[in-house]
């Protein structure tokens, strides 16, 4: 956990440190407030949340009068925490509460880290003593099923796959059937995310969802977004949210960007919490999203 925190802070603290430095100026003139706004916008916090935060900071700094560095830090920490949100239920739901396995569907545009995230999540679950079946329903990308199977072999989870270019829904169906037959605890379904035609995506994901739900309720639909894609990620989020009911967001590649503000923007956009973050390509580089650790990393 310490290592993960370190990795997060290396790339993220530009935002928090930048804000602290600006807020520490003796005279907070209009130019400075504009710089504060720019800092937030550059970090992909989004326009509305940025304006709200600046408004609150203005007010609170005024009330505070003279500011010690400690007071400023505490104030900013509080405000950033509120912005990130401490009320969300961020637990990934992997238990159905029924006889059937918990079913988790992983969606997102290809290249965002969907398959990797599915593999990492399987690893976490297996390490936790749960039996996992993987469904390789990303039949669009040729290597995806191999990649998932490799993860499965590595972590000790069986992978259900079909022929290349096969029907994703029937593979998802088989994976759930297999999970039920084996008495598995969790079935994780990796899906394809080609965005070039929205109707194609809609048809495909909708069908996967319907077919799965014939067997067992869907407990979690995780949308994987690449944090380095910035506002583009928001556009993707909107499209997917129209197609399936997203229940949680996984923000990957947070290790490779200082634009951590996307956490705030995407939660606002979907009204759904970030539940997991990807902090590298390795097997251990998936972490629960903890607002306090995140904000502390921002502040360096």
Question: Can you give the binding site for ligand GDP, defined by CB under 6 A?
Answer: 108, 110-116, 141, 144, 252-253, 255-256, 278-281, 285
Q: Would you call 281 helix, strand, or coil by DSSP?
A: coil
110 is in an annotated binding site: yes
Task: Tell me whether residue 114 or residue 123 sits nearer to ligand GDP (CB atom).
Answer: 114
Do residues 192 and 161 lie in contact, with contact meaning Cβ atoms separated by under 8 Å?
A: no
Quote the least distance from Cβ 216 to ligand GDP, whole Å. Answer: 24
**Closest residue to bound ligand GDP by CB:** 278
Residue 121: phi and psi, rounded to 5, are -65, -40
Nearer to ligand GDP, 128 or 281 (CB): 281
E-strand ranges in the chain read 102-107, 132-137, 158-160, 186-191, 220-226, 248-252, 274-278, 286-288
* Nearer of residues 253 and 275 to ligand GDP, judged by Cβ: 253
Nearest CA to 136 among 127, 145, 128? Answer: 145
* Distance (Å, whole) CA 200 – CA 92: 28
155 is in an annotated binding site: no
Cβ distance to ligand GDP smaller for residue 169 or 225 = 225
For residues 4 and 279, the answer to whether their CB atoms sit within 8 Å is yes
Residue 229 marked in a binding site: no
Q: Is 111 marked within a binding site?
A: yes
Instruction: Please state the closest distance from residue 137 (CB atom) to ligand GDP, in A.
Output: 11
> For residues 39 and 236, which CB has a smaller minimum distance to ligand GDP in the complex?
236
CB 18 within 8 A of CB 259: no
Annotated binding-site residue? 257: no
Q: Is 109 annotated as a binding residue?
A: yes
**Least Å from the CB of residue 145 to ligand GDP:** 11
Task: Give the C-alpha distances (Å, rounded to integers) separating 176 from 95, 136, 234.
Answer: 14, 11, 30
Q: How far is the CB of 197 from ligand GDP (least distance, A)?
A: 18
31 marked as binding residue: no
Closest separation in Å from C-beta 226 to ligand GDP: 8
Question: Residue 47 Cβ, how far from ligand GDP at the closest point, in Å?
Answer: 26
Residue 12 or 252 with smaller CB distance to ligand GDP:
252
Sole residue written with tokens 């380095």: 228
The verdict on whether residue 193 carries a ligand-binding annotation is yes
Reference 175, options 203, 152, 193; nearest CA is 152
Spatial separation of the C-alpha atoms in residues 244 and 276, rounded to whole Å? 19
Tell me if 279 sits within 8 A of 287, measured CB to CB: yes
Residues annotated within the binding site are 108-115, 190-194, 252-255
Residues annotated within the binding site for GTP are 108-115, 190-194, 252-255
């Amino acid at each position: 956990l310490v290592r993960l925190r370190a990795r997060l802070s290396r790339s993220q603290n530009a935002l928090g440190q930048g804000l602290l430095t600006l807020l520490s100026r003796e005279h907070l003139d209009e130019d400075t407030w504009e710089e504060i706004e720019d800092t937030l916008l550059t970090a992909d916090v989004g326009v509305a949340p940025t304006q709200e935060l600046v408004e609150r900071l203005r007010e609170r700094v005024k009330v505070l009068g003279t500011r010690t560095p400690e007071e400023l830090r505490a104030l900013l920490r509080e405000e950033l925490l509120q912005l990130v949100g401490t009320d969300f239920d961020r637990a990934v739901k992997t238990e159905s509460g029924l006889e059937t396995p918990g079913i988790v569907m992983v969606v997102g545009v290809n290249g965002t880290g969907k398959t990797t995230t599915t593999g990492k999540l399987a690893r976490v679950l297996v390490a936790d003593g749960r039996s996992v079946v993987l469904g390789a329903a990303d039949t669009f990308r040729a290597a995806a099923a191999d990649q998932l199977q490799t993860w499965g072999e590595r972590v000790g989870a069986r992978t259900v796959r079909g022929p290349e270019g096969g029907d994703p829904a029937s593979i998802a169906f088989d994976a759930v059937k297999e999970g039920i037959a084996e008495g598995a605890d969790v079935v994780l379904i990796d899906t394809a995310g080609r965005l070039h035609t929205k109707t194609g995506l809609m048809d495909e994901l909708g069908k996967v969802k319907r077919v799965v739900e014939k067997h067992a309720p869907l407990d979690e639909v995780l949308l994987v977004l690449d944090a380095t894609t910035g506002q583009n990620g928001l556009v993707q989020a909107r499209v997917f949210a129209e197609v399936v009911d997203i229940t949680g967001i996984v923000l990957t590649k947070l290790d490779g960007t200082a634009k951590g503000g996307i956490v705030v923007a995407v939660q606002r956009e979907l009204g759904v919490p970030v539940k997991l973050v990807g902090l590298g390509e390795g097997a251990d580089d998936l972490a629960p999203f903890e607002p306090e650790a995140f904000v502390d990393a921002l502040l360096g």
